Homo-oligomer: A and B are copies of this chain.
Amino acid sequence: MEFDLDEAMAALSRTPAALKAMLNGLPRNWVENNEGPETWSPYDVVGHLIHGERVDWITRAKIILDHGAARPFDPFDRFAQFEESKGKTLGELPDEFAALRERNLIILREMNSSADDFMKTGQHPALGRVTLKELLATWVTHDLDHIAQIARTMAKQYAAEVGPWQAYISILHDRKSQSEQ
């Protein structure tokens, strides 16, 4: 698929409800367990998504449109949620994420970006030149990556309990990867 703003927004707008459906009211074992040392629980993942809504995606889109590559993006803190989520319950986080996402999609729509705007570039601190279109497409895939991560992290809690079926459930063999954090 080629990037299309309406299609991208259709995906981005569904993530909050998907997370709520998967996680709200779920027993703590499911939401607080992770995949092992230095991996994240579903609770941590939602905190990470919230931090992205606060400081990453829309902020970077604005930098591209306002300054282009002359003003490099700030590095993104992939561990900010461990401070930010402190004292918050999982019941609160998906709602917080939903409100931020809704606000950011309104901002994105109001940017009213043209085909030329989508090709404007910014300077990523590690990746170099990137376009607005690439940033927005990445926002979509980043959501989906973390939805899959939550599903995988939950599935792995039953890795031993499935017995011989372990051979058939491929997600139990997928590794966590640094890029998802």
| Interface, chain A (partner B; CB < 8 A) | 1-4, 6-7, 10-11, 14, 17-18, 20-23, 25-27, 29-30, 33, 124, 127-131, 133-135, 137-138, 140-142, 144-145, 147-148, 151-152, 154-155, 157-159, 161-165, 167-172, 174, 177, 179-180
Q: Is the CB of B158 within 8 A of A148?
A: no
Bound: A175/B11 CA distance, A = 22
Q: Is the CB of B158 within 8 A of A137?
A: yes
| Chain B residues whose CB sits within 8 angstroms of the CB of A133 once the complex forms | 161
Q: Is the CB of B171 within 8 A of A148?
A: yes
Known: A148-B148, A151-B151. A164 touches B30 (CB 8 A): no
Specify the chain B residue showing the minimal Cβ separation from A133: B161
Q: A141-B162, A145-B171, A148-B155 are in contact. List 8 more A-B contacts (CB 8 A).
A: A1-B30, A11-B30, A131-B163, A134-B162, A138-B163, A141-B159, A151-B151, A174-B174
